[in-house]
Amino acid sequence: MKFVPTDIDGVMLVELESMSDDRGSFARWYCEDEVSSAGLDPVGVQINFSTNERAGTMRGLHWQTPPHGEAKLLRCIRGAVYDVAVDARPGSPTLGQHVGVELSAENQLGIYVPACMAHGYLALTDGASVLYQVGAPHHSGAERGVRWDDPLLGIDWPAPVAQVSDKDRSWDLLDDLAQLAPLDSPTGDL
């Protein structure tokens, strides 16, 4: 595994280091020792699988507040998605900034998203499927979210959004980026 830093501290692109021969190829998908050696939190507590019937399906943007933050390692194993991580960490110098990357079965790229980062993706193909490992169990009471189309975030999605869940559509728009991660709240409540 090769970890490539992005403009946001802790968000890493994860490239597979494949070995190939006449049978095909082999690559290590995940290694806790390599993740820890890169200074990242392990993501071996839970594995989730998401399918998307149609291109244009939006999932996110959401995150878990401390102490239930979930670090994630995501890969698209069928089709393609545009994956976005938004910094929602209290006191972060990059609060509200985002990293976006196309993940596809073809490019085999992964993204590591630290805890307390708003995360979501847009399916770019019909049948896009995402497998993601998570570093903590999900706690619904700690979930927060922000709209994918919030003008303060300025995310330039590469395709039209055609389908969104009622929950993701109902997140409030921000009046100020500080609403992502208030410093005066120990749990990051909005």
What is the pLDDT averaged over residues 65-70? 91
pLDDT tens sequence across 76-132 = 999 999 999 999 998 899 999 999 999 999 999 999 999 999 999 999 999 999 999
The CATH number assigned to the domain holding 45 equals 2.60.120.10
Token pair recorded at residue 121? 């993706």
pLDDT tens sequence across 146-186 = 999 999 999 999 999 999 999 999 998 999 998 888 755 44
| Residue 83 domain-assigned (yes or no) | yes
What is the pLDDT averaged over residues 1-29? 94
Q: Which residues are catalytic?
A: 62, 132
What pLDDT score was predicted for residue 183?
A: 59
What is the pLDDT averaged over residues 131-142? 92
Rg (CA), the chain: 16
Collapsing DSSP to helix, strand or coil, 94 comes out as coil
| Residue 189 domain-assigned (yes or no) | no
| Residue 58 domain-assigned (yes or no) | yes
Full domain range(s) for residue 89:
2-177
| Residue 186 domain-assigned (yes or no) | no
Token pair recorded at residue 181? 């991660």
pLDDT band at 190 (very low <50, low <70, confident <90, very high): very low
| Residue 182 domain-assigned (yes or no) | no
User: How far is it, in rounded angstroms, from Cα 63 to Cα 26?
Assistant: 32
Strands 163-164 and 57-64: parallel
Token pair recorded at residue 150? 């919030």
What is the pLDDT averaged over residues 13-28? 92
| Residue 187 domain-assigned (yes or no) | no
What pLDDT score was predicted for residue 188?
A: 40
Token pair recorded at residue 147? 């709209």
* pLDDT exceeds 70 at position 69: yes
Residue 5 makes CB contacts below 8 A (sequence gap 6+) with 11, 12
| Residue 106 domain-assigned (yes or no) | yes
Q: How many domains does the chain have?
A: 1
| Residue 8 domain-assigned (yes or no) | yes
Q: What residue type is 49 in one-letter code?
A: F
